Amino acid sequence: EIYIATYSGIDVYESLIDGIPLMRRCTDDWVNATQILKVAKFQKAQRTRILEREIQTGNHEKIQGGHGRFQGTWVPLTIAKNLAKNHSIDKNIINLLNF
């Protein structure tokens, strides 16, 4: 299920997967890459390593303040799709990326 939620005045498409939120901003289609890796069950150290190697070298935005659920490293939709594909991430995540 995909629905619209608002955090700190920002509308996002959100889907809960195994109790973990996965968000895509309505305005620009950027996706929370940290949440993709959480849903994929990567531990914190692994997530940090993947984000540093694959994400933070390119176009990204780190959100550290505001609503806790909204925090993380955000990336454009194409980068989020590549991240999911490169790590063989389950179809539940792909649904939020492909609508």
Domain containing residue 41: CATH number: 3.10.260.10
Query: CA–CA distance from 5 to each of 36, 55, 79 (Å)?
Result: 17, 25, 22
Axis crossing angle, helix 91-98 with helix 77-86, rounded to the nearest 10: 160
* Side-chain-side CA neighbours of residue 62 (13 Å): 8
Q: Per-residue pLDDT tens for 18-35?
A: 899 999 999 999 999 999
Q: Per-residue pLDDT tens for 24-63?
A: 999 999 999 999 999 899 999 999 999 999 998 999 999 9
Query: Over the Cα atoms of the chain, what is R_g?
Result: 12
Report field, pTM of the whole predicted structure over 0.95: no
Q: Are strands 72-75 and 31-32 parallel, antiparallel or unpaired?
A: antiparallel
What is the count of structural domains for the chain?
1
Domain range for residue 70? 3-98
